[in-house]
């Protein structure tokens, strides 16, 4: 009972304070409506706005998460589509370059007037300097048959020669492989010499007093054996080193990129005339 009286007294005091406060506001020219707006409506409006803003923030957060997930999925889909298109583009470029390569081979095939056979490179061992091609003894392939290539459809470049045959494949020793030898001549200055592979290029020993080779000269086959036809490009002079007072070592670099070769021509028969 005592407690209820104390609560009632507190309520009475609060009411008196509120009445006095409102009376004071009225004395300052503030109407009851203005006081009501300041003390009740504005706080309620701010509280309502706070909760509304909080709700909007939470809603926007979850919406952004959902949109983010959708964007991530869309981004992954686009990446997959780009990867697919890139793969198709590489395939089409591969077909294009192979078509160009075959056209070039057809061009030199028509100008050589030799019995040749088109074949594909199925393996390239750069370290040991050899190709594996997709024709063998069952196709009439024999050892020492030359292999050539063209990058422009008019120039024949020496790739190497067959050194081993199985029934369906053959091993081709490349021109720069160690111990590979071929008779060569400077296409513009003459002379007949032997070019020998060193694992990266070919070396030719030339009499310095007789031949004045310069960097950029092209050396070709001379056709002095029954293996290599004449006038096939072997390489271009990239270095000239002096061996002694009478000899220079001329370094020839092949003019074709062996990494890019996919198809070659095999010369099936050649006899020196």
Kindly report, residue by residue over 146-205, the tens digit of the pLDDT.
999 988 888 899 999 999 999 999 999 999 999 899 999 999 888 889 999 999 999 999
Q: Which of 269, 188, 260, 193 is nearest to 228 (CA)?
A: 269
Q: What is the pLDDT of residue 149?
A: 92
CA–CA distances in Å: residue 14 to residues 9, 11, 39: 9, 5, 15
Q: What is the pLDDT of residue 144?
A: 93
Mean pLDDT computed over 210-231: 88
Kindly report, residue by residue over 3-57, the tens digit of the pLDDT.
566 666 666 776 676 666 666 556 655 555 665 666 666 776 777 777 777 777 7
Instruction: Considering only CA atoms, give the Rg of the chain.
Output: 45
Q: Is residue 154 within 8 Å of residue 112, measured between CB atoms?
A: no
Kindly report, residue by residue over 224-269, the tens digit of the pLDDT.
777 899 999 999 999 999 888 888 899 999 999 999 898 899 998 8
pLDDT band, residue 142 (cuts 50/70/90)? very high
Separation of CA 37 from chain center: 72
């Amino acid at each position: 009972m005592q407690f209820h009286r104390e609560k009632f007294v507190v309520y009475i005091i609060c009411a008196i304070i509120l009445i006095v406060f409102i009376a004071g506001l009225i004395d300052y020219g503030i109407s009851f409506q203005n006081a009501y707006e300041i003390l009740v409506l504005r706080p309620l409006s701010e509280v309502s706005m706070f909760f509304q803003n909080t709700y909007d923030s939470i809603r926007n957060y979850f919406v952004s998460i959902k949109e983010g997930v959708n964007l991530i999925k869309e981004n992954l889909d686009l990446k997959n589509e780009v990867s697919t298109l890139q793969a198709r583009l590489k395939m089409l470029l591969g077909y294009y370059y192979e078509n160009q390569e075959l056209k070039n081979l057809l061009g030199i095939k028509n100008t050589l007037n030799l019995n040749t056979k088109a074949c594909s490179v199925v393996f390239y061992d750069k370290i040991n300097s050899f190709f594996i091609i997709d024709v063998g003894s069952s196709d009439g392939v024999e050892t020492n048959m030359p292999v050539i290539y063209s990058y422009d459809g008019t120039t024949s470049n020496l790739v190497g020669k067959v050194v081993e045959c199985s029934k369906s494949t053959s091993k081709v020793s490349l021109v720069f492989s160690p111990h590979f030898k071929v008779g060569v001549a400077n296409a513009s200055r003459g002379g007949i010499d032997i070019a020998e592979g060193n694992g990266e290029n070919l070396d030719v020993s030339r009499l310095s007093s007789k031949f004045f080779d310069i960097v950029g000269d092209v050396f070709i086959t001379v056709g002095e054996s029954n293996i290599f036809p004449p006038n096939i490009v072997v390489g271009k002079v990239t270095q000239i080193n002096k061996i002694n007072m009478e000899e220079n070592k001329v370094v020839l670099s092949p003019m074709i990129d062996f990494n890019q070769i996919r198809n070659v021509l095999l010369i099936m028969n050649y006899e020196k005339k």
